[in-house]
């Protein structure tokens, strides 16, 4: 099946610093990538939708200037958490959609666990 | 009201038991339904899609009741390896295609199968 990787798998950073998370589709071209956040014992919440070559669209309540998304190619999207604070500590998961398949066929990356101290 | 609601559990069952999970969704225009499985500290993985006529995959049976906006998952002959969080997932509907491909996840139902 399709494979999506994320890097890093976990990161600890100090408050005020920025962290970049990469999401790559390894064996298919991802026309669309989605970024989710999951707090402990809660469900995945969609943060933003990233389309290759265009600006990301953000869900209500997600600050676009804080969570910078770049979908530079059909196999790579990055999420940068700028000026991270402890409340940004969460599990960040990306998913990628293969444009040749149905709209809801998504392949999830293994996630990145961010801890801000 | 949440868009997708599930009983969070936890469900603790012995091996071999049959267990059923329920889920309700609020948007009557939703068209696509799924059950995902998520292991602790891992990404969610698609377990099965849910079709209007109901569908089965081995020990797993999914059913959809559009009139009641209700989805269910039945697991027969539970195995220790079935222990996980089960997520009910529904496609998001929106005007003008703005929600194309977007999914809404329930909070999940925790299942623990014990020897």
Structure confidence by residue, pLDDT tens digits, A32-67: 999 999 998 888 999 999 988 888 999 999 999 999
Tell me how many degrees the CA angle A37-B100-A2 measures, rounded to the nearest 5: 65
Residues of A in contact with B110 (CB under 8 A): none
pLDDT at B98: 57
| Residue of A103, A109, A111 to mutate, interface with B, max B Cβ within 10 Å | A103
- Chain A nearest-CA residue for B102: A104
Structure confidence by residue, pLDDT tens digits, B28-76: 888 889 999 999 989 999 999 999 889 999 999 999 999 999 999 999 9
Are A43 and B34 inside 8 Å of each other by CB?
Answer: no
Quote the CA–CA distance of A109 and B27 in Å, as a whole number: 28
Considering CB atoms only, which of A49, A104, A108 is closest to B44?
A: A108
Share of chain A above pLDDT 70, in %: 98
As a residue count, chain B comes to 115
Structure confidence by residue, pLDDT tens digits, B3-29: 999 988 899 999 999 999 999 999 888
């Amino acid at each position: 099946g399709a494979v999506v990787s994320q890097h890093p798998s976990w990161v600890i950073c100090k408050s005020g610093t920025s962290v970049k998370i990469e999401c790559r589709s390894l064996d298919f071209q991802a026309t669309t990538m989605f970024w989710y956040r999951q707090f402990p014992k809660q469900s995945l919440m969609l943060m933003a939708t990233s389309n290759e070559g265009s600006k990301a669209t953000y869900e209500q309540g997600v600050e676009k200037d804080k969570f910078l998304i770049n979908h530079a190619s059909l196999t790579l999207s990055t999420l940068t958490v700028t000026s991270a604070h402890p409340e940004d500590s969460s599990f960040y998961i990306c998913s990628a959609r293969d444009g040749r398949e149905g709209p809801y066929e998504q392949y999830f990356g293994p996630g990145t666990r961010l801890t801000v101290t | 009201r949440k868009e997708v609601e599930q009983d969070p559990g936890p469900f603790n069952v012995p091996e071999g038991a049959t267990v059923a999970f329920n889920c309700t969704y609020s948007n009557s225009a939703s068209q696509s339904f799924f059950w995902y499985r998520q292991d602790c500290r891992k990404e969610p993985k698609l377990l099965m899609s849910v079709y209007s006529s109901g569908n089965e995959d081995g020990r797993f049976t999914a059913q959809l009741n559009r009139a009641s906006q209700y989805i269910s998952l039945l697991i027969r002959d539970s195995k220790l390896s079935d222990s996980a969080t089960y997520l009910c997932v529904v496609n998001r509907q929106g005007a003008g295609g703005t929600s194309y491909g977007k999914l809404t996840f329930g909070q999940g139902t925790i299942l623990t199968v014990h020897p």
